[in-house]
Chain A
Amino acid sequence: SQTIHQWPATLVQPVGSPLSLECTVEGTSNPNLYWYRQAAGRGLQLLFYSVGIGQISSEVPQNLSASRPQDRQFILSSKKLLLSDSGFYLCAWQGNRDQPQHFGDGTRLSIL
């Protein structure tokens, strides 16, 4: 069966520091991969998605970037974090475009 892993689960970072969040999927090949941010108001905002290695689509202009160096690995990065980058970051995978997305357990990011 397929599983998705995100780490770390919790992260506290100072303003201006870099960021790297990792997401890996097991048990499937060539998945579509997604990064979301969930603010305290509960809504899920799509940040990036990827349909293959090296292919990244950005949904909103922001201080973050994403990369997909391997088929089942999706990384969310920033060179310099802002206070507004705080939130709950969720990675999701999808077998093909007509199937549901399945989410990881998320990373709680706090910026001080």
Chain B
Amino acid sequence: GQQLNQSPQSMFIQEGEDVSMNCTSSSIFNTWLWYKQDPGEGPVLLIALYKAGELTSNGRLTAQFGITRKDSFLNISASIPSDVGIYFCAGQLGGSNYKLTFGKGTLLTVNP
């Protein structure tokens, strides 16, 4: 089946620094999604990408859908303590395939 490689597994940064994480796949997806999960809560959708090459921003977050459709990255600029959490990428084929394929997550710690 499809697998997503998400890296890094964890990051420890200082408040104010920029962050970058990415996901790669051995096969293509038609949609890339980025979620954030706070401790004890469900993942919350941050950004959805629907088109190869698409670059989308949501406040301090920017994500891109790779041209090959096999990768995506998420950048966070000027990190703040509330950015702490686990960030997941997910790929979706759509059409007759309902499922999401998730990366294993990036644990972000921000030191004030």
B76-95 contacts to A, CB under 8 A, are 86, 88, 92, 94-95
Q: Is A74 an interface residue (CB 8 A)?
A: no
| Interface bin, chain B | 20 to 34
Q: In the bound complex, do residue A43 and residue B45 qualify as a contact, i.e. CB atoms below 8 Å apart? A: no
Counting residue pairs across A and B whose Cβ atoms lie within 8 Å, the total is 52
B41-60 contacts to A, CB under 8 A, are 41-45, 48
How far, in whole Å, are A59 and B100 apart by their CA atoms in the complex? 12
The smallest beta-carbon distance between A9 and chain B, in angstroms, is: 8
Q: Which of A41, A42, A92 lies at the interface centre, i.e. has the most chain B CB atoms within 10 A of its CB?
A: A42
List the A side residues contacting B35 at CB < 8 Å. 103
Q: In the bound complex, do residue A97 and residue B94 qualify as a contact, i.e. CB atoms below 8 Å apart? A: yes
Cross-chain contact of B102 among A44, A100, A104 (Cβ < 8 A): A44
Q: Which of A46, A94, A97 lies at the interface centre, i.e. has the most chain B CB atoms within 10 A of its CB?
A: A97
How far, in whole Å, are A49 and B92 apart by their CA atoms in the complex? 15
Cross-chain contact of A49 among B43, B94, B99, B105 (Cβ < 8 A): B99
Given A42-B86, A43-B105: A101 in contact with B100 (beta carbons within 8 A): yes
How far, in whole Å, are A19 and B46 apart by their CA atoms in the complex? 32
B29-44 contacts to A, CB under 8 A, are 30-31, 33, 35, 40-44
Q: In the bound complex, do residue A106 and residue B42 qualify as a contact, i.e. CB atoms below 8 Å apart? A: yes
List the A side residues contacting B92 at CB < 8 Å. 98, 100
> Nearest chain-B residue to A108 (Cβ)?
B40
Given A32-B98, A49-B99, A97-B98: A106 in contact with B41 (beta carbons within 8 A): yes
Q: In the bound complex, do residue B105 and residue A98 qualify as a contact, i.e. CB atoms below 8 Å apart? A: no
Interface string of B93-112 (1 = CB under 8 A from A): 01111111010110100000
Q: In the bound complex, do residue A100 and residue B48 qualify as a contact, i.e. CB atoms below 8 Å apart? A: yes
Residues of A within 8 A of B (CB): 6, 32, 41-44, 46, 49, 51, 59, 90, 92, 94, 97-98, 100-106, 108
